Chains A and B, each alone.
Chain A
Amino acid sequence: SQQGEEDPQALSIQEGENATMNCSYKTSINNLQWYRQNSGRGLVHLILIRSNEREKHSGRLRVTLDTSKKSSSLLITASRAADTASYFCATRNSGNTPLVFGKGTRLSVIA
């Protein structure tokens, strides 16, 4: 079955720096979504990118998708302490199939 796998597993940066997290998957997808999870809390939807898109922006977030390499990256620019969380990618194979999540990247932003 397809899996999104993020790397690095953990990332620690200083406030103001950019954070880049990567996600790889194994099979063809319809779309890929990024979520944030604060410790012990729910999953917050950040951004969706479709298989025919290469890049999307939302505020300080930039997502890229390379379907030839089966990979995506999430860039958070000018990070803040409040960005400290786990970030997950999740892929959807086709229209109504369930999302499949990766293991996540734990981001720590140090003030």
Chain B
Amino acid sequence: EPEVTQTPSHQVTQMGQEVILRCVPISNHLYFYWYRQILGQKVEFLVSFYNNEISEKSEIFDDQFSVERPDGSNFTLKIRSTKLEDSAMYFCASRSGVDEQYFGPGTRLTVT
């Protein structure tokens, strides 16, 4: 069964460093998303991406964040200068034209 994959599973970085989180969405899907979940809290929407551009973003998704779909299969989230409060689980998700949205296993980002 096709699934969304994410790498790495765990990333530890120092404050101020740049990180890139990688996702491979399900191959025939058209809509791509990043969400995050701070430990013990609800899943929060960051950004949606469709037709090679951002379609919607939340207040969390400030200038420190960017997304890219560089090669038609990967979908990346970059955080330019990480802060302690960026520590969270980051989930990539994708869907086709139908409504079900499928999530990857997540990348746990720890900023020290």
Contacts and interface: CB of A to CB of B under 8 A. Distances in A.
A33 B95 CA distance: 13
Secondary structure type dominating chain B contacts: strand
A8 to B, nearest CB: 15
A43 B100 CA distance: 12
A44 B93 CA distance: 11
B103 A45 contact: yes
A42 B103 contact: yes
B99 A31 contact: yes
A79 to B, nearest CB: 23
A25 interface: no
Given A41-B105, A92-B99, A98 B33 contact: yes
Contacts of B58: 98
B43 A101 contact: yes
Secondary structure type dominating chain A contacts: strand
Contacts of A68: none
B48 interface: yes
Given A98-B48, A101-B43, A104-B42, A42 B33 contact: no
A101 B106 contact: no
A40 B101 CA distance: 19
Interface in B1-50: 31, 33, 35, 41-45, 48, 50
A33 B100 contact: yes
B42 A103 contact: yes
A25 B55 CA distance: 24
A100 B91 contact: no
Contact of A42 (B31, B42, B101, B106): B106
4 nearest A-B pairs in the assembled complex, by CB-CB distance: A42-B105, A43-B103, A101-B43, A98-B45
Given A40-B89, A101-B43, 4 more contacts: A33-B99, A48-B99, A92-B99, A98-B56
Interface of A: 30-31, 33, 35, 40-45, 48, 50, 88, 90, 92, 96-104
